[in-house]
Structure 1
C-alpha cells in the first residue's frame, strides 16, 4: 500500500512552507531517519526525515515549490515489494481500472440526460457552444482524480482550463502541477487603480501609493514570508500591547575592565581562545539576573492570569537577510558568561544560515536588542508577544559625568526598557532597570 509523505508542521503556527530541495529521486530506496528534503519556513530551513521505509514512487511537489500547505502530500513511497508505478498510480487515485469503471457510468448518465441536452442544444446556437477540452465529457462534466481536484481548489485553478493526460483524458496531479507552473500573462504596465479596503490605509504595494511615484524611479520587491511575519507580529504588538518606556544611563567602565580580565584569562586550544566574552554577553547575564532579582517583572500577560516565569530565557535579536530573528538563551540566569558567549555565537551563526530549530527561537520570556555596534545612542524596541519586556541597548560612549561634585569622564551606555503596561507598570519597570544597573556597574556580582 502506498505511503504518503506529508508537509510537516515545523512549528505550532506554521501553515505553509517552501520545499527548497529534494535529497532523493524516484526509485531511491528510503530508510527510516534518512533526510528526504529541506523545508523553508519564514524563520528557518529544516530537514524532513523519513519515518517509514520504502522506495520513492513519486515526488508530488516539485523542488522550489512555495507556500505548500501543511499536511499536503509531497511525496509517495512504495512499500517493500510493491511496484513503484502501481503505488504512484494508486495514490494518485487514477488507476486504469478505476477510469474504465467510471467511463460507462458517465455514458449512462449522459444518456439519461439526453432530453435535457437536446433542449439545451435548441436554445444555444451550435457555433457558440464551448469546445470540450480533452478532460471534459459531454455535458461539460470534468473527469479528475480526487487529489487533483483538491490541489486545484487549494491553488485556485479552474479545472476547465486544464487538459488531462490520464486515462480517457482524466486530469491527474501532474496536470495540475503543470498548470500551476505555466507562465501567466504579464500584468499590464498601467493596471486599473484598486481602491484600498475600507478602514485600511493604502500599503506600499497598493496602486494608490504606486501612483505617487514615477514607474522608472523604483523597483518593487515582493515581501518574503519572513518579512510578512515580522510585519504581522509587530503590527499586532503595537495594536494590542500598551507599551511603556523607561530609560537609564549605566556606567560600564568596570564591566569593560572585567571583560578584559576574563578574556585575557581564557584558555587556548590550537592557538584559539576557548571563549571571547562580549559586552552584549554580559548585558544578557546582567538582565537575566535582574529579572531573577525582581520576579514580579518577569511575567507574561494572559487574559486568564499572569504567568510568572521561573527561568530567564532571553531572546537575542539577530539581524539576518530579509528580517530579524530572536534565538533564545535558555536559563541565562544560571549560565556562566563563557557559556552564554559561546551559545550566542553559535545561535547567531545558525540563525544567519537559517538552520535554527523551532524550539531555539520560539518562546522565551524576554528579549535583548543591541544596536550599540552601529553607534546608536538609544532607541525603544517593540515588544515581541507574549513577552512583557524587551531591553534596548545603545552604544557605550565617553561622556561627562558628575562624581562627588566634580566633573569626570566615564563610559556610559543608555538602555531603554519597553514594558507591557498591563503586566509591568512604570514603577516595576524602574525597579527592574535599577537591578540591571547594579549588576552592570558592579559586574563582579554576576560571578558570585
Structure 2
C-alpha cells in the first residue's frame, strides 16, 4: 500500500506508553489495523489528525524518553500539551474520570461514529468510557452486543464534533486486499529470481504422535497438524538460518523467527499474519496463538506488527487438498514453505513397500539470497524434524 487513513487516536499528548500499547487505529487495504509502539516514554505532539489520509512512512507522533527530547519537540506543540520535567523523569499514566458530555454535543471518536452508523446504533444513548466521557469503538461494540438500538423511531443525528467518514463494506476490503496481494505478487515475480524444490514426507510418526497427544486433551485444547508444521519449520530455520531473513540491499538474516501463516478469508482473498517467536513456543502455546490470530485475521482486526514482522511465510492447504502447492515469495522475505494435503501413497522403506500418509513439501526461495544447496539442507532438516515429532 502507498497510503492509509488515521481513524482514531488512542492516546493524547502527555500519556505514558509502554512497548506493545495500542496508540492508534489506521485504515489500510487490509482493514482497520491497531498501531502498536515498540518504545517506552511519553506521547508528544499528535502530528496527524483523525481521518487524515497520509503516505506510508509519515511521522505520526513523538515518543519522548528523556527530558532533552521534550525540549527538542517542535514549537508547533500547543502550550498546554507540553510536558514538565517531572512528568518525563517520573512518567505516570494519567487516569481520567469520565465526564458527561454536554447535552447538545456528542463527544465521540470518528471511528466510533462510523461503526455506530453502520450498525444502526443511536450514539446519543451510548455511555462513553473514553477521555472526558467520549464514546469510543469499544463502547459501540458493547452496545451492538447488548442490542442497544431503536429501530422503530427515527431520531435526528446528534450534533457531532466531526463528520464521520463514509463506511467501507467488507466487500470493499476484500477487493482492496486482492489489489494489495496483486501488487505484492507482481513485484515478487518482477524482482525475485525464484527457485523451487520439493520433497515428500512420511507423516506416520507425526500423525501418530498428534493422535496420542490429543487423547490427553479436551476437544477445546486439541492440537492441529499446523502446529507441528510450524514447529518443524522453526527448527529447520534454526539449522539453516539463511532462509530466515529479508533481502534489503543484500541478505539481512533475522534473529527472531516470526512465521507468516496464510489465512484464507471467507469473502475471498488471503491475509498473512505473523506468528511471533515460533521457535520459543510449545505446541500448546502455538495452538492458542493460532486460535486467537486466525479469527482476528478473518475479522480484519490485526496489529501492525502482525502484518509487518514475518521473516518467512508458510502456506498449508489442509486436509483433502491437492498434493502440491508452489508459492510466490512475499517481499522482502526470501523464502516460502508450502505444505500440500496428506494423501495415502505407496512408500518403500528398508526394502519393504507399504501404504503411508504422505505430504509433499515445497520450498520457494530467492536465488539472490540462497541457492539449491541451502534449500536442500533446509528441506532435509524439515523432513527429519517431522519424522521426530516428540522432539518438537
SS in 2 for 1:244: strand
TM-score (norm 2): 0.60
Alignment-derived partner of residue 245 in structure 1: 196
Runs of 5+ unmatched residues, structure 2: 1-47, 60-112, 118-122, 139-157
- Contact 2:192/2:366 (<8 A) preserved: yes
2:308 counterpart SS class:
coil
Q: How does 1:269-280 map to 2 (within 5 A)?
A: 272-273=218-219, 275-280=221-226
- Aligned partner of 1:411 in structure 2 is 357
Q: Tell me if the contact between 1:19 and 1:66 (Cα under 8 Å) persists in the aligned partners.
A: no
Partner residue, 1:377: 323
Alignment of 1:121-140 (within 5 A): none
Per the alignment, residue 387 of structure 1 pairs with 333
Counterpart selection for 1:365 from 307, 311, 334: 311
Q: Give per-residue Cα distances to partners, 1:103-160, cap 9 Å, x unaligned.
A: xxxxxxxxxxxxxxxxxxxxxxxxxxxxxxxxxxxxxxxxxxxxxxxxxxxxxxxxxx
Pair 1:24–1:367, CA change in 2 (3 A):
farther
1:310 corresponds, among 227, 235, 255, to 255
* Corresponding residue of 2:242: 296
Flag the 1:227–1:32 CA change in 2: closer, same or farther, 3 A. Answer: farther
Aligned 1:166-181 pairs, distance under 5 A: none
- TM-score, reference length from structure 1: 0.53
2:213 and 2:173 map into 1 onto residues whose CA distance is 46
Determine which of 363, 376, 382 is the counterpart of 1:436. Answer: 382
Relative to 1, partners in 2 of residues 1:225 and 1:445: Cα closer, same or farther, differing over 3 Å? Answer: same
Deviations 1:223-252 (A, max 9, x none): 721111111111111111111111000011
Cα distance in structure 2, aligned partners of 1:307 and 1:320: 31
Asked whether the 8 Å contact 1:24–1:37 carries over to 2, the reply is no
- Does residue 257 of the first structure (1) align with residue 359 of the second (2)? no
Q: CA deviation at 1:382?
A: 1.0
How is 1:91-130 mapped onto 2 (pairs within 5 angstroms)? Answer: none
Confirm or deny that 1:354 pairs with 2:300.
yes
How far the C-alpha of 1:428 sits from its partner, in A, is: 0.5
RMSD: 3.5
CA distance in 2, matches of 1:433, 1:308: 18
Tell me, in whole angstroms, the C-alpha distance in 1 between the residues paired with 2:321 and 2:356.
17
The structural deviation recorded for 1:63 is 4.7
Asked whether the equivalents of residues 19 and 37 of structure 1 are also in contact (C-alpha less than 8 Å), the reply is: no
Across the two proteins, how many residue pairs are aligned to each other? 266
SS in 1 for 2:319: helix
**1:83 equivalent in structure 2:** none
Cα separation, partners in 2 of 1:440 and 1:12, compared to 1, 3 Å:
farther
Pair 381,58 (structure 1): closer, same or farther in 2 beyond 3 Å: same
Match of 2:69 in 1: none
Contiguous gaps of at least 5 residues in structure 1? 39-55, 68-220, 267-271
Change (3 A) 1:242 1:4: closer
CA distance in 1, matches of 2:129, 2:280: 46
Runs of 4+ in 1 over 6 A off after TM superposition: 8-11
How many angstroms apart in 2 are the aligned matches of 1:10 and 1:20? Answer: 24
Query: 1:329, CA displacement in angstroms?
Result: 1.0
3-state secondary structure, aligned to 1:373: coil
**CA offsets, 1:64-106, max 9 Å, x none?**
3459xxxxxxxxxxxxxxxxxxxxxxxxxxxxxxxxxxxxxxx
Contact 2:243–2:312 (CA<8 Å) still a contact in 1? no
How much does 1:444 deviate? 1.7
434-443 or 222-231: which moved more?
222-231
Secondary structure of 1:417's partner? strand
Larger radius of gyration: 1
Cα distance in 2, alignment partners of residues 403 and 263 from structure 1: 28
User: CA, structure 1 residues 65+397, in 2 after alignment: closer, same or farther (shift >3 Å)?
Assistant: closer
